[in-house]
Amino acid sequence: MNSASAIVSLSVKSLANRRVTAGLTVFAIALSVMLLLGVEKVRTEAKASFSNTISGTDLIVGARSGGIQLLLYSVFRIGNATNNISWKSYKKITDAPYVEWAIPLSLGDSHRGFRVLGTNNDYFKYYRYGRKQNLQFVDGKEFQDIFDAVLGADVAESLGYRVDDPITVTHGLGQTGGINHKDKPFQVVGILARTGTPLDRTIHVSLQGTEAIHIDWRGGSPLPGMKVTAEEVRQLKLNPKTITAFLIGLESKLSIFKAQRQINQYRKEPLLAILPGVALQELWDLMGTAEAALGVISLLVVGTSLLVMLAMLFSSLNERRREMAILRSVGARMTHIFSMLVIEAGLLVGAGIIVGVALLYAGLFILQPVINAKFGLFLSFDIITLRDGLILLGIFVAGLLSGAIPAYHAYRQSLSDGMIIRV
């Protein structure tokens, strides 16, 4: 009994004799670990996905509203603009000497649940994501014709589209039930490489294309008796009247606040210019309460599973008092009894952690395509991070401390107490 390996062996055999209750305890701990790590992974991946969506853009400009709202609809394709921006204002602002490049954005239509974005070829030239990474094509090329379309990776994969396939755009954002622009279909000319951002779920068309499909529309519906064919549209001079928002890159970072102030004080129409990083931080501050609530709930679940283990260990003490007495009679010290129960708790928590991590990655493998398709959130199969490791270490230590409570109770039980009760 002086050997540590003998104590561990006894602990394993003891748990094996109570395999059903031990198994249920391990499963409860595993579920709590899976939930805690799952919430943490969703939180960090969502934050990383949002942060990586736009890079290298100095200002985002839209109709005057809220900074978070502007960020959401212009970059993340969530929600709608309160108003549009006139093309004249866009040209006036972007022709300023301090502007290096600008990307116009026009939203409002969709295709089978995916947002359609009207823009120009500067989008593919200047837009950056992640760590200032360029957009890459896995197939095809940029716009050449007014009815060309470039698909994000998720769109092409989910709908099975390839280059040269036709696409019919739906007016509005509904997945079904909208009015189709079937008289002026687009053709897929390019498919972008996966970025892990909302760009993957976006269909990109030219600004002239968005203007063309609405040439015979007024007030959100077709004009009765008026029909302009796709061939007739190609003969027209199609300059957009309005856009939803635009992105700006400046010649010098020192002029950011000067440019922002001038745009916000623009007299011809109410505009708002925001810094993407500042607006993103405001968004995280807004979501901080929800993050904290999810974390607290996860910790409560872990605490509950540890209480289940504690109750199991306590409930087994009375049944094991004869076992403890026999061990004492053959030379086991009180510290050995204490160590055995703590080791049992450690084995239960350790097994629960291993099973919980395995369940997490199994769940990711099964649910990743669904989460990506439904919410546009890509959950990677990265190894356990340092933060995750510290969380698991905290759970393990908490389990050992929980096991020390019944172990101390058993420590105080005397040999005669066990013998008298069981004989």
- Contacts of 138 by beta carbon, 8 Å cutoff, 6+ apart: 153, 191, 192, 193
pTM of the model: 0.70
- Amino acid at the residue 256: I
Q: What CA–CA distance (Å, rounded) separates 50 from 315?
A: 48
380-400 pLDDT, tens per residue? 677 778 888 888 898 899 888
Residue 423 pLDDT level (bands cut at 50, 70, 90): very low
- Contacts of 68 by beta carbon, 8 Å cutoff, 6+ apart: 279, 282, 283, 286
Burial level of 5, CB count in 10 A (0-12/13-18/19+)?
exposed
Between 337 and 174, the higher pLDDT residue = 337
From 114, 154, 118, select the one nearest 138 (Cα to Cα): 154
From 20, 372, 4, select the one nearest 201 (Cα to Cα): 372
Q: What CA–CA distance (Å, rounded) separates 373 from 363?
A: 16
30-89 pLDDT, tens per residue? 988 898 888 888 877 777 777 778 888 999 999 998 899 999 999 988 888 889 999 999
From 294, 403, 275, 274, select the one nearest 339 (Cα to Cα): 403
Residue 16 has pLDDT above 70, yes or no: yes
pLDDT of residue 372: 65
Q: What radius of gyration, in Å, describes the C-alpha atoms of the chain?
A: 31
pLDDT of residue 198: 87
Residue 420 has pLDDT above 80, yes or no: no
Between 182 and 56, the higher pLDDT residue = 56
Residue 337 has pLDDT above 70, yes or no: yes
Burial level of 174, CB count in 10 A (0-12/13-18/19+)?
exposed
- Contacts of 321 by beta carbon, 8 Å cutoff, 6+ apart: 413, 417, 418, 421, 422
Q: Are 116 and 205 in contact (CB under 8 A)?
A: yes
From 62, 127, 125, select the one nearest 70 (Cα to Cα): 62
The Cα angle at residue 380 between residues 375 and 381, in degrees rounded to 5: 140
pLDDT of residue 120: 94
State the distance between the two ends of the chain, measured CA to CA, in whole angstroms. Answer: 24
Lowest mean pLDDT segment, chosen from 258-262, 310-314, 343-347, 348-352: 310-314
207-247 pLDDT, tens per residue? 999 888 878 766 656 666 677 777 777 877 888 889 999 99
- Amino acid at the residue 170: T
Between 164 and 176, the higher pLDDT residue = 164
